[in-house]
Amino acid sequence: MPLSDNAAPARYPLAIIGAGALGLHFAARLADVLRVAVIGRDAEHAARLRAGVEVGGQRYCADAFAAAQPPRADWVIVLVKAGDTTAAATIAERMQPLGVLSLQNGLTGDLLRAHCRAPRVDQGITTEGAYRERTAAGERVQPSGAGETLLPPGFEPVAQILAQAGLHARIEPDIARARLAKLLVNVAINPLAALYRVPNGALLEPPYREALDTLVREAWPVLHAEGLALDLDAALARVHAVATATAANRASMLQDVLAGRRTEIDAITGALLQMGARQGRALPTHAAIHRQIKALEPPAAA
């Protein structure tokens, strides 16, 4: 149970699974407008979150719970890394929610649906940003730029809550296309930045630019056949625009590789490769990059 002054409600209006960079960024903002349950990895993590964590320069004491004892909640947002999606789906189902929304990178909706039988389970996208930093006192979360959050139809109450908290959020009627557009950017920028260990902007210059454009050209027919509403020139322009706008950033996959963590390559490039296999289209450059990133990951836990 949380150690908050106010007793925990029998049912929270909203919960977030994944108390990392983005989860705590969202939770701290949303806590200004309603009670938010934050699900930490274990009891020790939950205790640290209840004691308070610095988020965007403010101390945030979360209504935190261990993953083994989640409270009931109407709506659940999943913000664990893609490799932890199955565990998060199981936790979410135990919360007996009306709906579960992933805002993760990569395509995780099918996996979430396979392990969680809530009435609505779907995936939106967000360009909100945040990162975790080690400090002498432990850890803090820093927002790294306001973005936009697009939610699938059926998640209107969640969109309304996000907007009340001052976040830029709306329902996107064609969320599948929006996810494909984000996947296009992720399959091009994320693995290359991680492989060459460069900030996003460097990918626009030689010697990386050729590889970046090759990845876009190879991915485009597959994503277009799935419903991506961009022609090839627009797809290239979209990826270049994101690399320019985030020129100084270190992509999350690069951060994962540098920290010796698993990456989200399976939910990103792996998802593209699965689409290609379904369509009978070869994606040799993406397949090679997938293998190279997998080789950089630590061995899976037994």
Ligand X SMILES: NC(=O)c1ccc[n+]([C@@H]2O[C@H](COP(=O)([O-])OP(=O)(O)OC[C@H]3O[C@@H](n4cnc5c(N)ncnc54)[C@H](OP(=O)(O)O)[C@@H]3O)[C@@H](O)[C@H]2O)c1
Q: Which residues bind ligand X (CB under 6 A)?
A: 17-23, 39-41, 67, 79-82, 84, 87-88, 91, 104-105, 126, 129-132, 144, 252, 264
State the pairing for strand pair 63-66/36-40.
Answer: parallel
Q: Which two tokens stand for residue 236?
A: 């290239």
Residues 133, 273: Cα–Cα separation, whole Å: 33
Measured from the CB atom, the residue of 104 and 200 that comes closer to ligand X is 104
Measured from the CB atom, the residue of 17 and 228 that comes closer to ligand X is 17
Residues 296, 20: Cα–Cα separation, whole Å: 23
Query: Nearest approach, Cβ of 157 to ligand X (angstroms)?
Result: 21
Query: Nearest approach, Cβ of 207 to ligand X (angstroms)?
Result: 27
Measured from the CB atom, the residue of 144 and 214 that comes closer to ligand X is 144
State the pairing for strand pair 58-60/63-66.
Answer: unpaired
Tokens 């996996």 correspond to 111
Query: Nearest approach, Cβ of 57 to ligand X (angstroms)?
Result: 17
Tokens 């309603």 correspond to 34
Measured from the CB atom, the residue of 99 and 124 that comes closer to ligand X is 124
Query: Nearest approach, Cβ of 282 to ligand X (angstroms)?
Result: 27
Residues 182, 177: Cα–Cα separation, whole Å: 9
The three-point CA angle 184-185-188 to 5° equals 85
Which residue number places its CB atom closest to ligand X?
A: 20
Measured from the CB atom, the residue of 214 and 255 that comes closer to ligand X is 255
Measured from the CB atom, the residue of 88 and 212 that comes closer to ligand X is 88
Query: Nearest approach, Cβ of 187 to ligand X (angstroms)?
Result: 13
Tokens 């969320």 correspond to 175
Distances 211 to 148, 195, 221, 238, 240 between C-alpha atoms, Å: 28, 11, 17, 16, 13
Query: Nearest approach, Cβ of 24 to ligand X (angstroms)?
Result: 8
The neighbour count for residue 139, using CB atoms within 10 Å, is 14
Q: Write the single-letter amino acid at 53.
A: V
